[in-house]
Every structure is written in structure tokens, then in C-alpha cells.
Amino acid sequence: PRRTRVHHLLEWKREGRRWPMLTAYDVYTAEIFDDAGIPVLLVGDSAGNNVFGHRNTIPVTVDELLPLTRAVVRGATNALVVADLPFGTYQISPAQALETAFRFMKEADAHAVKLEGGARFAPQIEALAGSGIPVMSHLGFTPQSEHALGGFRIQGRGDAADRLVEDALAMQEAGAFAVVLEMVPADVAKRVTAELTVPTIGIGAGPDCDAQVLVWPDMAGLNRGRVPKFVRRYADVGAVLHDAASRFAEDVRGGEYPADEHSYS
Ligand code: KIV
Ligand code: NA
């Protein structure tokens, strides 16, 4: 095993090797996912929902994500760790994007950053890439724009397909090393994947992307609420934890825990 680098992702695309990405928000999950062979970990602003209990990613701040990023970097021996730039911390100008990204690189040792939005944000991508910061683009359904997009809706249908392809090409041209495609019709994601030399990472974007990403509490069932149609549930961690907590409570109430072997003489 070795540290995943941006150039590996480009090699894998050329070789036609697909790869997985997961979110991580703390040291244990970072260690476990790294050990399981996940080469890229995303400290997503989905921490807004999955760590902080917000309804969406909009309220998430840099100060909230920095310590989570630091923890994931500490836990990840081999994975490339990407940090999301929160809403409102890069849209104003390339200079603002640089200032925010520098914080993730210097204060949390992030290996790369990600930002949402199309061609309008090419100057931000260019400023980051030109300053030695690997930057990932996020197109299609971009959760930070939920209110402008009118809720959780598929993007890139019909006439919007050409726009999506143009946006993806603009991001690549500006220096993005990969492009996330969220909730995009499978045939459109396939088209984008064929047009780009940098990898596409799908989430609700069909089987033809170069990589796939999922939000870990969704895929592992820590989130016990409703999950989108594109999620496959690989575990029921929520039920496992519920059972552990219930049995602990029962043992304490019944005087079954601690036992002799847990006690010091
Ligand atoms: O924040 C996040 O988890 C993401 C992924 C869905 C790509 O941006
Ligand atoms: Na995100």
C-alpha cells in the first residue's frame, strides 16, 4: 500500500480501473475505510447532516470541518483526503477560495479540496490548481444550491445535458483533477465520463462513471432515516449500535455489568 496521489486517479482512468470513495468524519472510520482499501476519503460538508444534525449542508462552517478533516487525515494511512469547502467560503472570489483552501491545507493537512458549481467557478478552480492545491469539482445536483435548484432534483436532463458536459469540460480545463456527478441521468454521466480525461465520480449517476462515492452513514445504515434511491445499504450499523446500547443499559440496570473480570482488586 502507498499513499494515493492525484496522478494515480488519472492512471486508473487510463487503465479503466474503477475505484470507490467514501465520506469520513472521524478517526475510526478513516482508519477502517483506509484499511478496507478505499483510496480516497471525502470529509464532506454532508457532516452538516451526518455529524452536526443540520437539515442540509448550508450552515456548515470551516471551523466545524477543520477538526474533522484533521482527524480523518490522522486516521488515513494511504487514502487521499479531500476536504469540502463549505457554502459561502469560496463563491465570492478566487481569493476567498484560496484563503479557505489554505486553511484546510495548513491547519488540517488536507491533501485536496472540493467545491460545487460549474463554469462560473472556473476562476476559483484555476486559482487553487495554480497554487498547488489539488481541487475536485462537484456538478449535477449540488446540495449547497438546494434552494435555487428547487429541492433534491435530478440535474442535466434534456437540454441541460449539454450544459453539464460544458461545465465538466470547463472544470477540467481550469485544472480540476476529478469531477463528482451527483444525481445525473446515467447516459449523461456516461457522456461526461467519455469526454473527460480526468475521472468522474458518480453518486446517483449510473454505472459508467470512473469512480463511485457514497455518504458512509447512508451506505452503512448509521443513518436510520430515509436514504436516496441511489444508495445501496451494505450494513445496519444503526441497529448494531442500538442493540449494543440497549444491552449495556439492561446489564447496568440488572447489575450484570460490571462483572468481576471488569473490576480491580
Ligand atoms: O458532502 C458530501 O458528502 C459530498 C458527496 C456526496 C460527494 O459532497
Ligand atoms: Na459535499
Once rounded to an integer, what is the mean pLDDT over residues 119-148?
A: 98
Task: Give the percent of the chain with pLDDT over 70.
Answer: 100
Looking at the chain, the whole-number percentage of residues with pLDDT higher than 90 is: 99
Test site for ligand 1: of 43, 84, 114, most ligand atoms within 8 A of the Cβ: 84
pLDDT surpassing 90 at residue 44: yes
Kindly identify the ligand whose nearest atom is closest to the C-alpha of 230: 1
Q: What is the pLDDT of residue 213?
A: 98
pLDDT at 131 over 80: yes
- Mean pLDDT of all residues in 53-60: 96
* Ligand nearest to C-alpha 201: 1
Q: Please provide the DSSP assignment of the chain as one string.
A: -----HHHHHHHHHHT--EEEEE--SHHHHHHHHHTT--EEEE-TTHHHHTT--SSSTT--HHHHHHHHHHHHHH-SS-EEEEEPPTTSSSS-HHHHHHHHHHHHHHH--SEEEEE-SGGGHHHHHHHHHTT--EEEEEES-GGGHHHHTSS---S-TTHHHHHHHHHHHHHHHT-SEEEEES--HHHHHHHHHH-SSPEEEESS-TTSSEEEE-HHHHTT-S-S---TT------HHHHHHHHHHHHHHHHHHT-SS-GGGS--
Domains and CATH numbers, the chain: 6-234 (3.20.20.60), 236-265 (no CATH)
Query: Given this model, what pLDDT does residue 65 score?
Result: 98
Neighbour-count burial of 265, counting CB atoms closer than 10 A to its CB (0-12 exposed, 13-18 middle, 19+ buried): exposed
- Is 182 part of the annotated catalytic residue set? yes
Going by alpha carbons, the residue nearest to atom 5 of ligand 1 is 44
Question: What is the model's pLDDT at position 206?
Answer: 98
Average of pLDDT values for 205-233?
97
Beta partners for 180?
138, 201
Nearest CA to ligand 1 atom 1: 44
Mean pLDDT of the region 90-111: 98
pTM tops 0.95, yes or no: yes
Pocket test for ligand 1, best of 21, 22, 33, 45 (most atoms within 8 A of CB): 45
- Ligand approaching nearest to the C-alpha of 140: 1
Q: How far is CA 25 from CA 28, 113, 152, 156, in A?
A: 9, 15, 23, 30
Ligand 1 pocket at CB < 6 A: 23, 42, 44-46, 84, 138, 180, 203, 213, 215
Ligand 2: distance of its center to the CA of 66 in Å? 14
Is 116 assigned a ligand-binding role in the annotation?
yes
**How many angstroms does the Cα of residue 78 sit away from the middle of ligand 2?**
22
Task: Give residue 46's pLDDT band: very low, low, confident or very high (50, 70, 90).
Answer: very high
| pLDDT value at 1 more than 80 | no
Q: What is the mean pLDDT of residues 248-262?
A: 98
Q: Is the ipTM of this complex over 0.90?
A: yes
Q: Which residues hold their Cβ within 5 A of ligand 2, which is an ion?
A: 44-45, 84
Please determine, for residue 71, whether its predicted confidence score (pLDDT) is greater than 90.
Answer: yes
Is the pLDDT at 255 greater than 90? The verdict is yes
Q: Which atom of ligand 1 is nearest to the CA of 50?
A: 3
| 46 is an annotated ligand-binding site residue | yes
Cα 151 to ligand 2 centre (Å)? 15
Q: Which residues contact 264 (CB under 8 A, 6 or more apart)?
A: none
Task: From the CA of 21, give the closest atom in ligand 1.
Answer: 7
Whole-number pLDDT of residue 188: 98
Mean pLDDT of the chain: 97
Quick: pLDDT tens for 144-185: 999 999 999 999 999 999 999 999 999 999 999 999 999 999
Amino acid present at 61: T
